[in-house]
Amino acid sequence: MRATCWSGRNTVQVEEVPDPRLLTDRDAIVRITSTAICGSDLHLYDGYVPSMTKGDILGHEFMGEVVEVGKSVGGLGVGDRVVVPFPIACGSCGMCARGLFAGCENSNPHAGMAEKMWGHAPAGIFGYSSMTGGYAGGQAEFARVPFADVGPIKIENEDLTDDQVLFLSDIFPTGYMGAELCDIQPGDVVAVWGAGPVGLFAIASAIMLGAERVIAIDRFDYRLDKAREAGATDVIDYTQVEVPVVLKELTGGRGPDACIECVGMEGHHAHPIVHGYDRVKQATRLETERPHAVREAILSCRNGGTVSIMGVYGGFMDKFPIGSLMNRGITIKTGQCHVHRYLRPLLARIESGEIDPSFVVSHHLPLEDAPEGYELFKHKQDNCTKVVLRP
Ligand SMILES: NC(=O)c1ccc[n+]([C@@H]2O[C@H](COP(=O)([O-])OP(=O)(O)OC[C@H]3O[C@@H](n4cnc5c(N)ncnc54)[C@H](O)[C@@H]3O)[C@@H](O)[C@H]2O)c1
Ligand SMILES: [Zn+2]
Ligand SMILES: [Zn+2]
């Protein structure tokens, strides 16, 4: 089959690789109809995530048709149309029982590697480095789905297009979880850093969960326009103003009740010296992150508010404002998304017409054009918000 393979920093190639096959009775093989490129893939593309090997198959947002099922996979049959959540979860360990699917204790065969860096290992993730299990990803013609009796959700409504349901695999639940973690109360003001696909779903979700005002922060006008489309009431171009100052002005001096960070380790700072400082430290491995948005979110949040970090970080950051966090009683919540939890409730919101997730898509490309898709998405060219690949 054809698959998108990581082949070193800033290079992916679509290559011929062996077809996946069932390895356990709980596996399924899915023929992929749509798969997307995520901001998380950019961290791999940029070479900031350790334990990637040349030839690793990328991709963790995918859907398609079941073509083979293991003997123990009840509830799924050949021909079913499914969306697959990006974390791999067994459904029965202590973490899965708590609904913390991205913390599954049974799905990461390389747990020891992750423990060295993070103390404990998170769940396995499709196409996301050896440290998160070394699983082949879904930017390919086929994928093996472990624990297929637990993860995939069947899409029975034929009226729903792939673009409407594909993002149940990751970014819609992720944006939603980012907002849900903020325990939004009527009248709340929520600020969202990053108007990429995750930020856009965080904005839409904050509105669905009752926020009165949602302020979107980015530097790309076309993304801030999308943010308005998603429901943002105000937008800030962080290259033009001091974000914490404007947020104070917009909130009577108090700061937003909740801040959702949807930027991650490739954060950018408008001031070239500040940006350059963290960029150099990251490139020379003196820190693993560019923490601009996290710092700003903490410093901007009102006393006792919540900062929800959905952007992906890998290791250790500099100048983390622990003093502001501690003295002002801010709560930080974060995590890889427990996608399984949100599949059914969010599918119901799509079916009822409350949200149509396809609004984030800017590009459809054939799988063979994955290298072009990565470049467009990374450099935000051609008003790119989200690339969907069709094998
Ligand atoms: N927690 C999870 O489960 C999960 C799931 C999916 C994605 N993610 C992460 O979410 C993050 C966003 O993903 P995406 O697909 O939307 O990526 P993206 O690259 O399209 O979006 C990031 C946006 O942040 C903006 N940005 C950069 N610096 C900023 C700053 N200082 N202030 C405000 N905005 C800034 C960029 O201009 C860009 O529009 C990534 O780190 C990704 O890995 C996390
Ligand atoms: Zn993703
Ligand atoms: Zn589990």
Q: Kindly state if the Cβ of 263 falls inside 6 Å of ligand 1.
A: yes
| Helix, strand, coil percent values for the chain (each to nearest 5) | 35, 20, 45
Give pLDDT tens digits for 148-159: 999 999 999 999
Query: How many Å apart are CA 41 and CA 291, to the nearest integer?
Result: 18
Whole-angstrom Cα distance, residue 240 to residue 219? 8
Local structure of 246: helix, strand or coil: helix
Q: What H or E segment, with its residue span, contains residue 190?
A: strand 189-193
What is the pTM assigned to this prediction?
Answer: 0.98
Architecture of the CATH domain 172-334: 3-Layer(aba) Sandwich (3.40)
CA 97 to chain centre: 23
pLDDT of residue 79 exceeding 90, the answer is yes
Q: What pLDDT, in 10s, does the model give residues 348-375?
A: 999 999 999 999 999 999 999 999 999 9
**Cα of 89 from ligand 3 centre, angstroms:** 5
Q: Which of 46, 9, 47, 380 is nearest to 224 (CA)?
A: 380
> What pLDDT, on the 0 to 100 scale, is given for residue 8?
95
How far apart CA 170 and CA 34 sit, in angstroms, is 13
Ligand 1 touching residue 175 (CB < 6 A): no
Question: Could you check whether 2-170+337-390 and 172-334 share the same CATH topology?
Answer: no
pLDDT at 285: 85
Q: Whose CA is nearest to atom 10 of ligand 1?
A: 311
Confidence of residue 284 (pLDDT cuts 50, 70, 90): confident
How far is CA 343 from each of CA 101, 249, 263, rounded to the nearest angstrom? Answer: 12, 38, 23
Angle at 220 between CA 218 and CA 224, to 5 degrees: 65
Q: Which ligand is nearest to the CA of 167?
A: 2
Torsion of CA 34, 38, 42, 45, to 10 degrees: -20
Distance CA 181, CA 355 (A): 20
Centroid of ligand 2 to alpha carbon of 174 (angstroms):
9
pLDDT band at 191 (very low <50, low <70, confident <90, very high): very high
CA-wise closest residue to 175 among 139, 140, 216, 136:
216
Exposed (0-12), middle (13-18) or buried (19+): which is 310, by Cβ within 10 Å? buried
Give pLDDT, residue 287. 87
Q: Which residues surround ligand 3, an ion (CB under 5 A)?
A: 89-90, 93, 96, 104, 106
Domain ranges of the chain: 2-170+337-390, 172-334
Using CA positions, which residue lies closest to atom 16 of ligand 1?
Answer: 196
**Which of 2-16, 76-90, 269-283, 320-334 is predicted least confidently?**
269-283
Q: Does domain 2-170+337-390 have CATH number 3.90.180.10?
A: yes
Q: Model confidence over 215-256: pLDDT tens digits?
A: 999 999 999 999 999 999 999 999 999 999 999 999 999 999
Q: pLDDT at residue 83 above 90?
A: yes
User: Which atom of ligand 1 approaches the CA of 336 most closely?
Assistant: 3
pLDDT of residue 188: 98
Contact 60 CB / ligand 1 (< 6 Å): no
| Rounded Cα distance, 65 and 82, in Å | 6
Choice from 42, 262, 382, 388 to test ligand 1 binding pocket (greatest atom count within 8 A of CB): 262
55-68, pLDDT tens digit by residue? 999 999 999 999 99
In the predicted structure, residue 142 carries a pLDDT above the cut 90: yes
Q: Which ligand is nearest to the CA of 310?
A: 1
